[in-house]
C-alpha cells in the first residue's frame, strides 16, 4: 500500500498557503492604523479607538445561506463575500455601532485557490464598503464533508458604540416615525423559497424579463446592501453620545443631529418587516405601516410571487420586499433625517402606536 499523506487524503497544504498569501495582500488594503497584526498569525490584533467615554464592543455573526448555491451554479463568486460582510455588519449597525474589524471562515471539500480568491476579493470589497478591517479568518479543507465544488461561508464582525448612545427598544416611544431604506433585492434571505420557485417554474439562470435589468442569475446574485454610509450621513465620525436635549436650532441638514434623533433600527432579514421590526419595539406598542409606502415593490418579488402562487402574507414573512433597513426616529427630527438620507432613497413607512385591545396580537400592522 502506498504511503499516506495529508495531500492524498484530500488536504493540500500548499494550496492553502498560496491562498493565505493572496488573502493577506488583499486584506492589507482594508487596514487602518488600529490594526496591529497581519494575516497569518494565530490571532488578529486591533487597538480600541480613542475618543470614547464609555465604549461598548458590539459583535455579530452570520452567513450567506443557500444564495451560495446560485453562485456555485453560475460559477460567479465575486459578490457573495460582500453578502457575508453585509449580513454581519448591518446587524451591528442596527444598535448604532460602527464596525471595526471582520473575520471570515471558508469551508470546502477541496480548495480551489482561484475560486476562493474570488470569494475573498468580495469580502475585501464588503469590508471597504463597511469601513472595517479584515484582520483574520480561517480556511478549512474538509474532504468528504462537502460535495466537490461546494463551500460555505461564515463571518464575524466586531464594532464599537458609546454605551449611552446605543439604539434599541428602550428608546422607542409612541408617535416615533418609521423610515425605510431600500434593499438591492433579496439580499441574502429567502433563497430556499426563491430557488424552489425557480426550479418549479423551470426558469434558467439566463432567463430575462423586460421588468428586470439583468438576467435572473445576475439579479439573484445582486449583493446585499451595506448600510454603513447611512450611519456616516447621520452621524459623521465616531458615534455621538446620547443628547438629552430635544430638537435644537442646530438641527438642520448641515449640522450635527442629537444622539436621540434615532431611537432604534432594524435590519430586515429573514422574516421580513413582520418579524424584524418587533425586535426593536417595546411591549405595548406596534408598528403601523402604510402599505402604499412600500410601492413600487421591486419586480423580482412580484415575479417570484406569481410563479410560486405565494400568498402575500408569506411573501412579507420571507422576503424584505424592497426594504432592507429601517430607522425608528424622533418625529421632531424626521425632516432633517430625511434630508440627510436623501441620496439613499428613504421612505416614511409609518409610525409606532400604542397597542389597544383590538390589535394586541399584532406587532406590525399594514394599513
Instruction: Looking at the structure, tell me whether residues 258 and 173 fall in a common domain.
Output: yes
DSSP 158-215: EEEEEGGG--SGGG--TTPEEEEEE-SSSTTSSHHHHHHHHHHHT--TT---TT-SS-
Grid cell of 2 as nine digits: 502506498
The CATH number linked to 271 is: 3.90.650.10
The CATH number linked to 94 is: 3.30.1330.10
Model pLDDT for residues 314-338, shown as the tens digit of each residue: 999 999 999 999 999 999 999 999 9
Number of C-beta neighbours around residue 211 at 10 A: 10
Please report the pLDDT score of residue 1 as a whole number. 66
Instruction: Looking at the structure, tell me whether residues 220 and 117 fall in a common domain.
Output: no
Instruction: Looking at the structure, tell me whether residues 91 and 193 fall in a common domain.
Output: no
Please check whether residue 217 is in contact with residue 80, taking contact to mean a CB–CB distance below 8 angstroms.
no
For the chain, how many structural domains are there in total? 2
Cβ-in-10-Å burial (0-12, 13-18, 19+) of 52 comes to: middle
Instruction: Pick the last residue of a domain from 165, 186, 210.
Output: 165
Instruction: Looking at the structure, tell me whether residues 277 and 257 fall in a common domain.
Output: yes
Model pLDDT for residues 276-307, shown as the tens digit of each residue: 999 999 999 999 999 999 999 999 999 999 99
Q: Where in the sequence is the domain holding 187, given as residue range(s)? A: 169-366
Instruction: Find the radius of gyration of the CA atoms of the chain.
Output: 22
Please report the pLDDT score of residue 357 as a whole number. 60
Please report the pLDDT score of residue 358 as a whole number. 54
Residues of the chain with pLDDT under 50: 239-253
Instruction: Looking at the structure, tell me whether residues 255 and 127 fall in a common domain.
Output: no
CA 39 to CA 170: how far, in whole Å?
39
Query: What DSSP designation does 260 have?
Result: G
Which three-class secondary structure state does DSSP give residue 24? helix
Please report the pLDDT score of residue 41 as a whole number. 85
C-alpha 95, offset from chain centre: 13
Please report the pLDDT score of residue 241 as a whole number. 45
Please report the pLDDT score of residue 249 as a whole number. 38
Please report the pLDDT score of residue 117 as a whole number. 96
Instruction: Looking at the structure, tell me whether residues 26 and 79 fall in a common domain.
Output: yes
Instruction: Looking at the structure, tell me whether residues 99 and 178 fall in a common domain.
Output: no
Comparing CA positions, the residue from 253, 272, 264 lying closest to residue 96 is 264
Please report the pLDDT score of residue 242 as a whole number. 43
Q: Specify if 1 maps to a domain.
A: no
Amino acid at each position: 500500500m502506498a504511503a499516506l499523506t495529508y495531500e492524498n487524503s484530500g488536504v493540500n497544504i500548499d494550496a492553502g498557503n498560496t491562498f493565505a498569501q493572496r488573502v493577506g495582500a488583499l486584506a492589507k488594503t482594508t487596514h487602518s492604523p488600529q490594526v496591529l497584526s497581519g494575516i497569518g498569525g494565530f490571532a488578529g490584533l486591533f487597538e480600541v479607538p480613542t475618543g470614547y467615554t464609555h465604549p461598548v464592543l458590539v459583535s455579530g455573526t452570520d452567513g450567506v445561506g443557500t444564495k451560495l448555491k446560485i453562485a456555485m451554479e453560475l460559477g460567479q463568486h465575486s459578490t457573495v463575500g460582500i453578502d457575508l460582510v453585509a449580513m454581519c455588519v448591518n446587524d451591528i449597525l442596527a444598535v448604532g455601532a460602527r464596525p471595526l474589524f471582520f473575520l471570515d471562515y471558508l469551508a470546502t471539500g477541496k480548495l480551489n485557490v482561484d475560486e476562493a480568491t474570488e470569494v475573498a476579493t468580495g469580502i475585501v470589497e464588503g469590508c471597504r464598503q463597511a469601513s472595517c478591517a479584515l484582520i483574520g479568518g480561517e480556511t478549512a479543507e474538509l474532504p468528504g464533508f462537502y460535495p466537490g465544488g461546494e463551500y460555505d461561508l461564515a463571518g464575524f464582525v466586531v464594532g464599537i458604540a458609546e454605551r449611552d448612545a446605543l439604539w434599541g427598544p428602550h428608546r422607542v416611544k409612541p408617535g416615533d416615525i418609521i423610515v425605510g431604506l431600500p434593499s438591492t433585492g433579496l439580499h441574502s434571505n429567502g433563497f430556499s423559497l426563491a430557488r424552489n420557485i425557480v426550479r418549479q417554474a423551470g426558469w434558467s439562470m439566463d432567463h430575462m424579463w423586460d421588468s428586470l435589468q439583468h438576467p435572473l442569475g445576475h439579479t439573484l446574485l445582486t449583493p446585499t446592501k451595506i448600510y454603513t454610509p447611512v450611519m456616516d450621513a447621520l452621524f459623521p465620525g465616531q458615534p455621538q453620545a446620547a443628547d438629552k436635549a430635544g430638537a435644537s436650532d442646530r438641527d438642520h441638514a448641515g449640522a450635527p443631529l442629537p444622539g436621540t434623533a434615532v431611537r432604534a433600527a432594524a435590519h430586515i432579514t429573514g422574516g421580513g418587516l413582520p418579524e424584524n421590526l418587533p425586535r426593536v419595539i417595546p411591549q405595548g406598542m406596534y408598528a403601523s405601516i402604510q402599505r402604499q409606502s412600500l410601492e413600487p415593490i421591486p419586480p423580482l418579488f412580484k415575479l417570484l410571487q406569481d410563479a410560486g402562487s405565494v400568498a402575500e402574507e408569506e411573501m412579507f414573512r420571507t422576503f424584505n420586499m424592497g426594504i432592507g433597513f429601517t430607522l425608528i426616529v424622533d418625529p421632531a427630527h424626521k425632516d432633517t433625517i430625511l434630508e440627510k438620507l436623501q441620496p439613499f432613497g428613504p421612505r416614511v413607512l409609518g409610525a409606532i402606536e400604542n397597542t389597544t385591545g383590538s390589535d394586541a396580537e399584532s406587532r406590525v400592522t399594514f394599513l
